[in-house]
């Protein structure tokens, strides 16, 4: 059965993904949990290819949260291994497509080898303008907001900014996602229906789609299905005007 015809006509600049269900996918197949994460990294290429085909400029992927440090150390180590493999494998392709790599999150706690690979990817792709791959690594939405508030408080204390001049635009410029558009569509796989501390500020008016499909089984057609559901939503942004 071939891919169904679908044309995205609704504005969609930024899609964010919570890549959930990797461990459960592996367990269901009798595999170690970490192999679910390995398959998850492979899936990213197909997902961002699909988004690029639909001219979605920014894609954010929740790779590792501030709460994920509570997982077993060997699982964390494997996840970092697979993230490094992802960048080594995909950077030539991302460069060819004119894709800029962004990392949202506190890299100071990430092991040195993985941090180095991430920073190299950021530096190599910094001048690319076509698309943005934003990997949320050691990221927490509350931490992001607190970090921004702390930075603004310091600037105000030092007389660099007047508190009365702090608005939403100024605040957003101090988040990890500074310069990126707000999220239009947030997709979470594997059936869970919560944000899990993910891009809380940026998701203010996003449309949420929760799919039961586990991330390692989330292929091109599943992405298109989510985009089609998004297209059928009536986005009012608090108003009463129908699209």
The set of catalytic residues is 20, 68
C-alpha torsion 141→75→44→36, nearest 10: -130
Q: Which residues contact 201 (CB under 8 A, 6 or more apart)?
A: 141, 144, 145, 171, 172, 175
Cross-strand bridge partners of residue 40: none
The residue among 73, 71, 72, 78 whose CA lies nearest residue 38 is 78
For residue 133, which of 77, 174, 94, 190 has the smallest C-alpha distance? 94
Cα dihedral 159/164/169/174 (nearest 10): 30
d(CA 172, CA 174): 5
CA 63, distance to chain mean position in Å, is 7
Element (H, E) at 75: helix 73-96
């Amino acid at each position: 059965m071939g891919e169904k015809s679908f044309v995205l006509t609704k504005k969609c600049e930024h899609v964010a993904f919570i890549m959930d269900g990797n461990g459960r996918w592996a367990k269901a197949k009798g595999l170690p949990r970490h192999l679910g994460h390995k398959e998850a990294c492979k899936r990213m290429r197909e997902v961002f290819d699909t988004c690029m085909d639909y001219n979605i400029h920014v894609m954010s992927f929740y790779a590792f949260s501030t709460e994920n440090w509570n997982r077993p150390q060997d699982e964390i180590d494997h996840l970092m291994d697979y993230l490094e493999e992802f960048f080594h494998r995909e950077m030539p392709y991302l460069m060819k497509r004119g894709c800029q790599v962004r990392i949202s999150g506190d890299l100071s706690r990430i092991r040195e080898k993985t941090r180095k690979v991430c920073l190299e990817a950021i530096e190599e792709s910094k001048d690319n303008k076509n698309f943005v791959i934003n990997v949320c690594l050691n990221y927490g939405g509350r931490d992001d907001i607190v970090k921004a508030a702390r930075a603004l408080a310091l600037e105000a204390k030092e007389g660099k900014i007047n508190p009365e001049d702090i608005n939403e635009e100024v605040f957003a410029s101090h988040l990890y996602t500074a310069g990126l558009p707000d999220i239009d569509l947030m997709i979470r796989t594997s059936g869970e229906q919560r944000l899990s501390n993910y891009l809380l500020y940026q998701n203010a008016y996003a449309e949420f789609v929760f799919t039961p499909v586990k991330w390692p089984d989330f292929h091109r057609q599943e992405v298109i299905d989510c985009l089609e559901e998004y297209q059928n939503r009536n986005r009012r942004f608090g108003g009463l005007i129908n699209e």
